[in-house]
Structure 1
Amino acid sequence: MIANFYMPTRLVHGPGALSRLPELVRANRINRPLVVSDPAIAATPFYGQALAALKEAGCDVATFEECWIDARLSHVDAQAERVRREDRDGIVSIGGGSVMCTGKGIAIVAPNGRSFADMTGVANFSAPALPMIMVPTTAGSGSEVSQFTLVKDETSHRKLVGGGPLSFPQVAILDPVTLETLPARAAAASAVDALTHAVEALFSSLATPLTDALALEAVRLQAGSMRRSILSDDMAARADNLLASAIANIACGNSRLGLAHTLSLPLEARLDLPHAIGVGVLIPRIVAFNAPVAPAKAEKLAVVLGARPGVDLAETVAAIRAALFALFDDIGFPTAFSPEQLPRERLAEMAEAAIPGLYGGAMPDRAVRDSDLIHQPGVRRTSVAQARAIFEQCYG
């Protein structure tokens, strides 16, 4: 297999990094930016200071501050039309994953003149996205360094994934000041989301020694800083968490996301389950599922989590599970689905709906069988029956 690694986004990180926003906007020849955010972030002091600094630098700034929990197709398409109408020349996203996905969707759609719904999949557009500067306000999605974006179609209740090499952000600004007002519950969800990116990258069939090194370092940083970042005012821990989130996405952006994200997708689209809850509850079970075909990676994961590998694989998997559950408990994150979140009578439907995966796989042109395989790049091939069994394991 010929390996490929590509990461063109510039990272500027550390306390005070946000003060460089005007300089970085100018360096990327953005004069008329659309600043994308949400109502909560728009009310913070650091956001107001960032807008004021852009205006003082001579930028003609427009804003869209109405992002919601998920990036919405209606927002993306409408704001892209606005960008074309007002001749905006770049996007500055200041917010969490949904804000950055909204901004990235706008940046893709605006120069390509089609709905985002018509550009899903990998590299399904020809014009480069508008220049983007991303300022994450959660240590979670890692969208600031990703070529892909996830957008919800409110009408069809589908999650749409699109992007490609032409839609990497130019700059990611990682400043721990942006985490100061983040509620602990949201911080925990974001951090677990980032952790799943690193673990999924590790257990991918497309992983390389380079992505493995990044994934393991991301987990090590997260395991060492997540509690202090969320449960105290430790700015150094917050800086580590932000950097780890970006590192995790650089890893999974090159080795791709696997079974946890694939199985979570229908839960999010059809049951409105929050993304972090979906992937976070699944990931300990996915590690156990993948470990028999990647035992050496399971041992390395145990070490960076601070767990002691066992004398055999079963003990190592148990140690990983215990370490993850202890971390989740400490930060107030759930370790199981409730029957209300994932109704048992819909398990078969969810397993079958996962077949296309994240990257454009097709459903069979006949009735689905238990032996049908789910499209995903994890190290272990997975059937519909196995997916259903994994869902069963996710109750308390």
Structure 2
Amino acid sequence: MITSFYMPTRIVAGPGALATIGTLARDLGMSRVLVVSDPVISAQGFHAEALAALAEAGIAVARFDECGIDARCSYIDQQGERVRREGIDGVVCVGGGSVMCTGKGIAIVATNRKPMAECTGVGRFDRKALPMIMVPTTAGSGSEVSQWTIVKDEERHLKLLGGGPLSFPDAALLDPATLRSLPMHVAALPAVDALTHGVEAYLSGIASPLTDAVALAAVRLQQASLRASITADDDRARADNLVASCMANIACGNARLGHGHALSLPLEGQLDLPHPYGVGVLLPHVMSFNLAVLPEKVRPLAEALDVETAGLSRQEMIAACAEAVRALYADIDFPDRFTAEQLPRDRVREMAARAVPGLYAGIAAQGFDPATAHDRTVIASPAARRMTVRQAEEIFERCL
């Protein structure tokens, strides 16, 4: 089997990494940048430090601080036009996953001169995005090293993914100082998202020894650092968790994401469920579903999750993996079930059908009619095991 592994983003990690942002921007040829953030992050001290470092390096700064929970196509299109109009030659993102996806979308639209919705799918644009520097302020999405951006088309109530090798960020700065002000409940959401990235990359049908090594190392480091990163004043754990989330996205960027993300997508688009809740609640179920056909991967994943495997059968190890994830959730106060408001029981079948196009369909998903799906229709996913609409429906039921 031919395998491919590509990771062009430069990663600078550790205490003080943020101080290098001005020099890095200058080295990338940036002279006037758009700094993308949100109202909460832009009020933090480290955000001001980043702006000061850019100014000291002689970089002119324009700002967009209005990102919300989702990366919205309308914001991306407006700011892409602004970037062209004002002669901006680089994008710097300081924020969580939605901020980085917004900035990445702006960098794509600015050079390709078409709306973001038309850039969704795999490689649906042919011009390299503007140079980008990413400063994640959560240990979660891993968007700082990802070619993909997830956006919301507000008009159609769809969550869409777009990207390709032309939209990798140029640099990622991982500084634990950016995590210090995060409340526990805010820090938990992206951390769970990152865990799903490592696990789903490991359980992908296009995984390779390269992606497996990175994915398992990410899960192991997350298991060791995630709790303390969120619940204690521990900069070392924060630094490790940032690196682990970055590694998890490097793995899934090459091995792709599986059923958890495919099934979560319609919940996010149609029911406005925040992404981490969708993929996090689904994770124990889709993990068990795929491990059933990957006997050689059960013990390594169990050990990465700190499961004591001695004397356990393969099926017991699979169950123990799911319990280890749920125990982690309990420690960081993350739910392991959907409420009736988050996923109404009378919409379970519809959501299973809407998952059929999968995560990577992009704009093609807009033309899909869920009424055409039947029980045996297969959900598009690179996961190791095929999942039908009926099986997805059963998993949703178990999540209620």
Q: Say if 2:215 is the partner of 1:210.
A: no
Q: 1:183-234, CA deviations, whole angstroms, 9 ceiling, x for partnerless residues?
A: 1111111110000000000000010001001000000000000111000110
Q: Matched residues in 2 for 1:127 and 1:255: separation?
A: 24
What is the letter of the counterpart of residue 107 of structure 1? A
Q: CA deviation at 1:258?
A: 0.4
Deviates more, 1:157-166 or 1:366-375: 366-375
Q: Matched residues in 1 for 2:126 and 2:87: separation?
A: 19
SS at match of 2:162: strand
Q: CA deviation at 1:365?
A: 9.7
Q: Matched residues in 2 for 1:12 and 1:365: separation?
A: 44
| Residue from 349, 357, 372 that aligns with 1:367 | 372
Task: Give the 4+ runs in structure 1 shifted more than 4 A.
Answer: 361-366
Match of 1:107 in 2: 107
Cα RMSD after superposing both structures = 1.1
Match of 2:138 in 1: 138
SS at match of 1:140: coil
Q: Matched residues in 1 for 2:56 and 2:323: separation?
A: 51
Q: Say if 2:315 is the partner of 1:340.
A: no
Q: Matched residues in 2 for 1:85 and 1:250: separation?
A: 34
The correspondence of residues 236-385 of structure 1 with structure 2, limited to 5 A, is: 236-309=236-309, 311-360=312-361, 363=368, 367-385=372-390
Q: Matched residues in 2 for 1:163 and 1:18: separation?
A: 26
Q: Matched residues in 1 for 2:352 and 2:276: separation?
A: 19
SS at match of 2:135: strand
Identity of aligned residues (%): 59
CA contact (8 A) 2:13 2:175 kept: yes
CA contact (8 A) 2:21 2:50 kept: yes
Q: Matched residues in 1 for 2:339 and 2:7: separation?
A: 38
Deviates more, 1:296-305 or 1:96-105: 296-305
Q: Matched residues in 1 for 2:57 and 2:370: separation?
A: 57
Q: Say if 2:16 is the partner of 1:11.
A: no
Q: CA deviation at 1:182?
A: 1.0
SS at match of 2:149: strand
What is the letter of the counterpart of residue 139 of structure 1? A
Q: 1:314-343, CA deviations, whole angstroms, 9 ceiling, x for partnerless residues?
A: 211121111111110000100111111111
Q: Matched residues in 2 for 1:149 and 1:354: separation?
A: 18
Structure 1 length as normaliser, TM-score? 0.98
What is the letter of the counterpart of residue 318 of structure 1? A
Q: Matched residues in 1 for 2:64 and 2:321: separation?
A: 42
Q: Matched residues in 1 for 2:392 and 2:160: separation?
A: 21
Q: CA deviation at 1:60?
A: 1.1
Q: Matched residues in 2 for 1:245 and 1:295: separation?
A: 26
Q: CA deviation at 1:253?
A: 0.2
Deviates more, 1:1-10 or 1:289-298: 289-298
Q: Matched residues in 2 for 1:297 and 1:394: separation?
A: 24
| Residue from 356, 381, 389 that aligns with 2:394 | 389
What is the letter of the counterpart of residue 379 of structure 1? A
Q: 1:250-292, CA deviations, whole angstroms, 9 ceiling, x for partnerless residues?
A: 0000000000000000000000111000000000001111111
Q: Matched residues in 2 for 1:36 and 1:317: separation?
A: 42
Q: CA deviation at 1:367?
A: 2.6
Q: CA deviation at 1:313?
A: 2.1
The correspondence of residues 3-42 of structure 1 with structure 2, limited to 5 A, is: 3-42=3-42
What is the letter of the counterpart of residue 97 of structure 1? G
Q: Matched residues in 2 for 1:340 and 1:47: separation?
A: 36
Q: Matched residues in 2 for 1:179 and 1:287: separation?
A: 28
SS at match of 1:61: strand
SS at match of 1:134: strand
CA contact (8 A) 2:353 2:370 kept: no
Structure 1 residues not aligned, in runs of 5+: none
What is the letter of the counterpart of residue 373 of structure 2? V
Structure 2 residues not aligned, in runs of 5+: none
What is the letter of the counterpart of residue 384 of structure 2? V
Q: 1:43-76, CA deviations, whole angstroms, 9 ceiling, x for partnerless residues?
A: 0001011111211221110000000001011110
User: Structure 1's 201 and 365: CA in aligned 2 closer, same or farther, altered over 3 A?
Assistant: closer
Q: Matched residues in 1 for 2:292 and 2:39: separation?
A: 46
User: Structure 1's 366 and 36: CA in aligned 2 closer, same or farther, altered over 3 A?
Assistant: closer
SS at match of 1:293: coil
What is the letter of the counterpart of residue 381 of structure 2? Q
Q: CA deviation at 1:358?
A: 1.0
Q: Matched residues in 2 for 1:30 and 1:346: separation?
A: 48
Q: Matched residues in 1 for 2:160 and 2:355: separation?
A: 13
CA contact (8 A) 2:354 2:370 kept: no
Q: CA deviation at 1:311?
A: 2.6
Q: Matched residues in 2 for 1:285 and 1:258: separation?
A: 12
Q: CA deviation at 1:152?
A: 0.5
Deviates more, 1:19-28 or 1:307-316: 307-316
Deviates more, 1:51-60 or 1:350-359: 51-60
CA contact (8 A) 2:305 2:324 kept: yes
What is the letter of the counterpart of residue 338 of structure 1? T
Deviates more, 1:280-289 or 1:358-367: 358-367
SS at match of 2:292: helix
Q: Matched residues in 1 for 2:301 and 2:279: separation?
A: 17
